[in-house]
């Protein structure tokens, strides 16, 4: 029975992840499989590849044909390189110890490259975050400066509008101050009230003096009239 190492799709739309399985070459992609070897998630950066190294190597040695994508995944994890070294040992090109040393050196180099890539991505993300924070800080400072300038301009306008009113109030106060200091109201009423009352008191006396001679004249005219009547 021909077998293949291939991917089986899972997950939702636009966010798919895959299982690495060994299945019959005639089975549908998401159908039955013989064994699950691991998983592959391309949504992460770097992509997450989690496989059973020994079982993958076993199926490769027994003749299972990986698809192009699975072959790239197995090469990335060192399965294909290990199979190549083991074939060299079978052919007598090298001993098993030499093959193991070469594989260990290859794995160390591969892990250092992966760690360097992870560190580079982390640094890039940190730099991007710092740049975003700096841009946000600059935008906030600019906005605060604009608000401060606007408020200071409004305060200056309000102060300029209040200044003439304060000056007018001061001028009116200085003009009205001498009038209140010249003659108090109480003094005016007390000093002027006395002559007015005296004048009112003198008016009846004068009228009485004028009326007195008029009565005396009437009394003198009365005997004269009686004498005229007697002569007639």
**Residue 194: what pLDDT?**
47
- Is 18 within 8 Å of 8 (Cβ atoms)? yes
- At which residue do the structure tokens 């159908």 appear? 31
- The answer on pLDDT for 212 being more than 80 is no
Give the tokens for residue 98.
Answer: 């030499």
- Is 46 within 8 Å of 111 (Cβ atoms)? no
Determine the Cα–Cα distance for residues 221 and 123; give it in Å rounded to an integer. 143
Closest by CA to 145, choosing from 137, 157, 134, is 137
Determine the Cα–Cα distance for residues 21 and 31; give it in Å rounded to an integer. 11
At 54-103, the pLDDT tens digits run 999 999 999 999 999 999 999 999 999 999 999 999 988 889 999 999 99
E strands within the chain? Answer: 3-12, 15-24, 35-41, 48-51, 65-66
Q: Which of 10-24, 138-152, 186-200, 211-225 has the lowest mean pLDDT?
A: 186-200
Question: Is the dihedral angle over the CA atoms 120, 124, 129, 134 positive or is it negative?
Answer: positive
Q: Is 59 exposed, middle or buried (0-12, 13-18, 19+ CB in 10 A)?
A: buried
- The answer on pLDDT for 26 being more than 50 is yes
Q: At residue 64, what are phi and psi to the nearest 5 degrees?
A: -70, 130
At 150-190, the pLDDT tens digits run 898 888 888 888 877 656 665 555 555 554 444 444 444 44
Is the domain defined by 3-94 classed in CATH 3.30.1320.10? Answer: yes
Determine the Cα–Cα distance for residues 155 and 153; give it in Å rounded to an integer. 5
């Amino acid at each position: 029975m021909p077998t293949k190492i291939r991917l089986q799709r899972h997950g939702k739309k636009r966010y798919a992840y895959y299982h690495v399985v060994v299945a019959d070459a005639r089975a549908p992609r998401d159908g039955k499989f013989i064994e699950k070897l691991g998983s592959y998630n391309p949504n992460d950066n770097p992509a997450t590849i989690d496989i059973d190294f020994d079982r993958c190597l076993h199926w490769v040695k027994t003749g299972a044909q990986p698809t192009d994508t699975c072959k790239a995944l197995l090469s990335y994890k060192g399965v294909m390189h290990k199979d190549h070294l083991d074939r060299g040992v079978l052919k007598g090109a090298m001993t098993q110890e030499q093959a193991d040393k070469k594989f260990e050196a290859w794995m160390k180099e591969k892990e250092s490259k992966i760690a360097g890539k992870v560190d580079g991505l982390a640094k890039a993300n940190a730099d991007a975050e710092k740049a975003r924070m700096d841009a946000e800080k600059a935008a906030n400072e600019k906005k605060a400066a604009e608000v401060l300038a606007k408020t200071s301009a409004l305060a200056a306008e309000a102060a300029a509008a209040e200044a003439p009113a304060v000056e007018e109030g001061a001028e009116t106060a200085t003009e009205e101050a001498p009038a209140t200091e010249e003659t108090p109201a109480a003094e005016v009423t007390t000093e002027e009230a006395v002559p007015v009352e005296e004048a009112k008191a003198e008016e009846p006396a004068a009228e009485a003096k004028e009326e007195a001679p008029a009565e005396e004249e009437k009394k003198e005219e009365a005997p004269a009239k009686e004498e005229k009547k007697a002569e007639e």
